[in-house]
Amino acid sequence: MDAALDRWVPPETAPPETIHKAMRYSLFAGGKRIRPVLCIAAAETVRGGPVAGVEDAACSLEMVHTYSLIHDDLPALDNDDLRRGRPTAHKVFGEAMAILAGDALLTLAFEVLARLDSIDSSRKIRLVEELASAAGTVGGMIAGQVHDLEGEGAEPDPELLERIHRAKTGALLRASVRMGAIYAGASGEELQALSDYGEHAGLAFQIVDDLLDVEASSDALGKTAGKDAAQQKITFPAVYGLARSHQMAEQELEACRAALAPFGERAQWLRELADLIVHRKN
C-alpha cells in the first residue's frame, strides 16, 4: 500500500513543496491501512485470487481517511496534538497548510479513481459515486462529524449513537469493502453480502475504538486516550457500559462471519480482518 500511495502523491520536491510534504507527513505516519486492506481483501474474495491494480483504487480510501483525520484534529474541531504517535499536521505545518493538505488529499482521491487504468469508465464512475457518497453529508462521514460535534454533552442516547457511528466511520469502512467488490466485478448478490459484512465490520470497528479510548493508554494508541469522556462524546461505553460494549463487538464479529458464509474459503482474509478489527490493541 505504501508503494502505491507513493506513486500517486507528488514527491516532496514537486512545487509547491510544502503542501506535498504536509500530505506525505500525514499519509505516511504509520496508519493501519484498514480501509485499503478491506478493499483489496474484498476484491480478492470476489475473484478468488489476486486482483491487478486494486491497490491503486484502495489509495483513494486512505487519502479520504487521512484528510478527515487532518481536518478533525484542527483546533476548531477536536483540537488534538497527537496522531499516530506524532504531532498532528497543524502542529508541524500550521493551520493554513493543514487545511489545504486535507483539501488536497480529498481532491487527489478522486483524481486517482479517474486515472485508474485497469478497469473501464463505468466501473470507475461507480467507485467515484461510492466514495463521494460515503464521504458526504447524507449518512456519510461529514454527516457523522457534524452529529458528533453537535452531540457533545448530549444525553447518552442509543439512537443518536448509532446514527453518529454509522455515518462517521461506518460509511467509509462499508464503502471500502464495496469498492473492492465493485472493482473486481462482483455480482449483485456478492455486493450485497459484502456490504453487510462491511456494515458489521464498521460498527465493530467503532465499538472497539470507543473501548480503546477508555481502556488503552495514549502510548499504545498513538493518540490521546480518554478524550471521548473529557469531551463528553456519545460512545458505546457511555451508553451501554464496558461489559455490554465488549459483548456487542463480539456479536458484530459473528455477523461479519455470517455475511461471509456464501464465499466459503475465498473469504478467509476478510474473516481474519474482522477478527483483527475486534481484537486489536490500538
Place of cell 516532496: 12
- CA-to-CA distance for 21 and 170, rounded, in angstroms? 29
- CA-to-CA distance for 2 and 10, rounded, in angstroms? 14
Told to check if 111 binds a second copy by CB under 8 A, we report yes
Told to check if 122 binds a second copy by CB under 8 A, we report yes
Q: Give CA separation, 60 vs 6, 160, 215, 230, in Å.
A: 12, 29, 31, 32
Told to check if 142 binds a second copy by CB under 8 A, we report yes
Among 136, 156, 185, 226, binds a second copy (CB under 8 A): 136
List the interface residues with a second copy, window 214-243 (CB under 8 A). Answer: none
| 3-class state of residue 181 by DSSP | helix
- CA-to-CA distance for 276 and 270, rounded, in angstroms? 10
Q: Given the rule CB under 8 A, which of 27-35, 45-53, 129-137, 271-279 is the region that contacts a second copy?
A: 129-137
Among 89, 104, 253, 270, binds a second copy (CB under 8 A): 104
Told to check if 106 binds a second copy by CB under 8 A, we report yes
Q: How many CB atoms lie within 10 A of CB 120?
A: 8
Please provide the size of the chain in residues.
Answer: 282
- Give whichever of 133 and 224 is closer to a second copy, judged by the CB atom: 133
Told to check if 76 binds a second copy by CB under 8 A, we report yes
Among 42, 59, 135, 221, binds a second copy (CB under 8 A): 135
Told to check if 159 binds a second copy by CB under 8 A, we report no
Q: Give CA separation, 180 vs 37, 65, 66, 176, in Å.
A: 9, 16, 19, 6
Site string for a second copy, 2-21 (x = CB under 8 A): --------x---xxx-xxx-
Told to check if 94 binds a second copy by CB under 8 A, we report yes
